[in-house]
Amino acid sequence: MFVVLISIVVLCVCLYVHSFRSYRSWYELNIPYHKFNPRYPFCIERLYTILKLAITSAEERFKIINALCLQYSDMVKVWFGPQLVVFVNHPQRVQKVLRSPECTDKWDMFYRLIERENALTFRTASAKWKEHRKFFNFSYSLPALESYMNTFADVGDEFCEILYKKKAGSVFNIQEIVKKICFDMLCETSCDMKTKVMFDESTYEDIINAFEITEEAFNHKAEFPFLYPDTIFKLTKIRRDEKKAQQILDEFRNHIMETRRSKMRENESIDSGNYALIDHLVRNEEKFTSKEILDHILNFIGAYEILGNTMSHMLLLIAMHPEVQERLYESIQKSIKSDEDVRNSAIIKQIELLDLVVKEATRLMPGVPLVMRDVNNDFEIEPGLVIPKGVKLVVSFYALHRHRDVWGNDAEEFKPERFCEENASSRFLFSFLPFSGGIRICVGNKYSNMALKIITVQLLRKFKLRTTMKMDDFRLKSTISLKMCTEHWVSVEARE
C-alpha cells in the first residue's frame, strides 16, 4: 500500500513538473482543448485521461478517439498524461502535416513497441530512412508490379480452389484463408520463392504462427499501456513466446537469404533485372546490417496482415451488398473474357466499378486507421499558428473518411458511386488517404491496390459471396492495423 501511495505521489509531482514545462506549448497553441472529464482540475484530468484509456477495452478506446476526431472537424488538443497531443482532422491541415519535413518522424513511444526498429515503417525519417526508402521503392514500382501479375493471379486461383472445397451454404471465417493467401503472395513476390514448396507443412505453419505471435505481442503491449516498460513486459509469457517466435523468424530470414545467395553463386538463371526484394537485398548486402535486413524482410512480408485484413473487410462489404456485387460481376464479365485477361493489368484497370468498390471499401475500412507523428521542429500549420517542437500529432484516416462535411450524411454507408468522376472531382485530394499521403506514403500502395482488385475479380467470377452480417456488426479496434472484434462470417455459392 505504502509503495502504491509513494508511486502515486511521485507520478503527480512528475506531472506537475512536466505541466510547468509544457504549459507554454499548451497555452500558446490557440486551438480548442478537449477535457475528457471537465469536472476534474487540469492536472488530475491529465492523469484521468491516461488511466481511462489504459484500462478501457481496445474497442472502447477506438470509439473514444473517433468520436473526438469527428467532434472537432479542424484540430483539437488533448493531454495524454504528460504528453500534449494534437488531433489534426481537417483535410487541408492533414496535407500540411503529411507533406512537412518537420512532422515526418513517428511517435516512437508507440511504434517502438514492435521489435522491428530498422523497418521503414518505424524508423525516424533520417538520412538512412531516405536511402532505404529509395532502395525499396524499386521492388514496388510499376514495372515491378507488372512482373508480379502472374503471382497475384496464381494466388487468386489457389484461393478459389480452397473455396470450391467449402460446402455450399456453410458459413466460415474468410479472413483465415485470406490472410494465408496474402502471406503466400508477399513471400513469393518478395522472395521469388513459393514458401509452401520451400518448407514442409509444419515449418510453414510455424513461420506463419511466428508472424502472428510477434504481431499479437505488439497488439497486447499496445492494448495494455502498463506493459510499455520493457522491464515489466519481460516478465510476461507473451514476451517469452515473442522471443521464440523471433528466433523462428530469424531462421526463416537466414534460410531464404542463404538459398538465394547460393542460387546466385550457381548463377541459376536469376535475372539481374528481377525486382524481388530478396535479390535486391542480396546484391547490396554490404549496405545493411543483418538486423536491418531481418527487420526489412519481416516488415515487407509482415504487411500480409494489413493487406489480409483490408481484403477481408472488403470482401465482407461486398457480401453485405448483393446489388453492388451483381453489378460488379457484370462489369467483370464484360471486361474479362479469359483466364489470361486476369493477368493483364491494363484490362483490370479498365473495370471502373472495381476501382470504385476498392476505393469505397478502403474509405470505410482503411487498413491503417491512424498515424502518429512527432513534431521535430516548431511547425507553422497555418499562418500565425505554430505547433511547438515535441508535440505529438495524430491523423485518423478512419475519421477523416467519415467527415460529414466532406462525405455527406450518408458517410457511414457503402456507396461506391461516391468515387465516380463527377462526384469525386471536386473533393480535396487529402480527404481520402487509405495509404496515407505525402513523404511517408505507403510503399506498397499500388501493390495492394492491384492485389485487392485481382483477388476480387478471381473470386467474383467464380462465386457469389453471402453473409448475414450487417454494417452494424463492424465492431472495430486498432493497434497498427484496423481489426474487427468478431470474425468475417461468409458463405459462398459457386457460379455455373
Binding mask 125-154 for ligand HEM (x = CB under 6 A): --------x------x--------------
Q: Which is nearer to ligand HEM, 63 or 133 (CB)?
A: 133
Q: Please state the closest distance from residue 195 (CB atom) to ligand HEM, in A.
A: 15
Q: Which is nearer to ligand HEM, 432 or 447 (CB)?
A: 447
Binding mask 336-375 for ligand HEM (x = CB under 6 A): -------------------------------xx--x----
According to DSSP, residue 434 is labeled B
Q: Please state the closest distance from residue 115 (CB atom) to ligand HEM, in A.
A: 16
Contact status, residue 153 vs residue 343, Cβ threshold 8 Å: yes
Q: Which is nearer to ligand HEM, 368 or 387 (CB)?
A: 368
For residues 304 and 286, give the distance between their C-alpha atoms in angstroms, rounded to a whole number: 27
For residues 84 and 417, give the distance between their C-alpha atoms in angstroms, rounded to a whole number: 39
For residues 451 and 472, give the distance between their C-alpha atoms in angstroms, rounded to a whole number: 27
300 is a contact residue toward ligand HEM (CB under 6 A): yes
Q: Which is nearer to ligand HEM, 50 or 371 (CB)?
A: 371
Q: Please state the closest distance from residue 409 (CB atom) to ligand HEM, in A.
A: 26
Q: Which is nearer to ligand HEM, 22 or 445 (CB)?
A: 445
Only one of the segments 9-17, 224-232, 279-287, 299-307 lies at the binding site for ligand HEM (rule: CB under 6 A); that segment is: 299-307
Residue 485 in marked binding region:
no
* Residue in 441, 359, 411 with CA at minimum distance from that of residue 95: 441
Binding mask 92-121 for ligand HEM (x = CB under 6 A): ----------------------------xx
For residues 183 and 160, give the distance between their C-alpha atoms in angstroms, rounded to a whole number: 16
Among 222, 278, 294, 306, binds ligand HEM (CB under 6 A): 306
Range 423-427, long-range pairs (CB < 8 A, 24+ positions): none
**Which residue's C-beta sits nearest to ligand HEM?**
444
Q: Which is nearer to ligand HEM, 175 or 448 (CB)?
A: 448
Q: Which is nearer to ligand HEM, 307 or 324 (CB)?
A: 307
Grid cell for residue 321: 451488398
Q: Please state the closest distance from residue 375 (CB atom) to ligand HEM, in A.
A: 14
Q: Which is nearer to ligand HEM, 68 or 144 (CB)?
A: 144
| Binding residue count for ligand HEM, defined by CB under 6 A | 22
In the numeric block, the cell 469525386 is attached to 424
For residues 350 and 353, give the distance between their C-alpha atoms in angstroms, rounded to a whole number: 9
Q: Please state the closest distance from residue 371 (CB atom) to ligand HEM, in A.
A: 4
Q: Could you tell me whether strands 379-382 and 370-374 are parallel, antiparallel, or unpaired per DSSP bridges? A: unpaired
The DSSP result for 11-42, as a single string, is HHHHHHHHHHHHHHHHHH--S-B--SSTTS-H
Among 163, 298, 303, 460, binds ligand HEM (CB under 6 A): 303
According to DSSP, residue 340 is labeled G
* Residue in 129, 26, 120 with CA at minimum distance from that of residue 390: 26
For residues 317 and 311, give the distance between their C-alpha atoms in angstroms, rounded to a whole number: 10
Judge residue 64's burial from the number of C-beta atoms within 10 Å of its C-beta, 0-12 exposed, 13-18 middle, 19 or more buried: middle
Contact status, residue 257 vs residue 292, Cβ threshold 8 Å: no
Binding mask 416-455 for ligand HEM (x = CB under 6 A): ------------------xxx---x-xxx--xx-------
Contact status, residue 370 vs residue 88, Cβ threshold 8 Å: no
**How far apart, in Å, are the Cα atoms of 113 and each of 135, 173, 225, 229, 395?**
25, 29, 10, 9, 19
Q: Please state the closest distance from residue 299 (CB atom) to ligand HEM, in A.
A: 6
Q: Which is nearer to ligand HEM, 81 or 434 (CB)?
A: 434
Q: Please state the closest distance from residue 369 (CB atom) to ligand HEM, in A.
A: 9
Only one of the segments 27-35, 44-52, 199-207, 306-314 lies at the binding site for ligand HEM (rule: CB under 6 A); that segment is: 306-314
The DSSP result for 452-478, as a single string, is HHHHHHHHHHHEEEE----GGG--EEE
State the residues that interact with ligand HEM by CB under 6 A.
120-121, 133, 140, 299-300, 303, 306-307, 310, 367-368, 371, 434-436, 440, 442-444, 447-448
Residues placed in the known binding site for heme: 442
Residues placed in the known binding site: 442
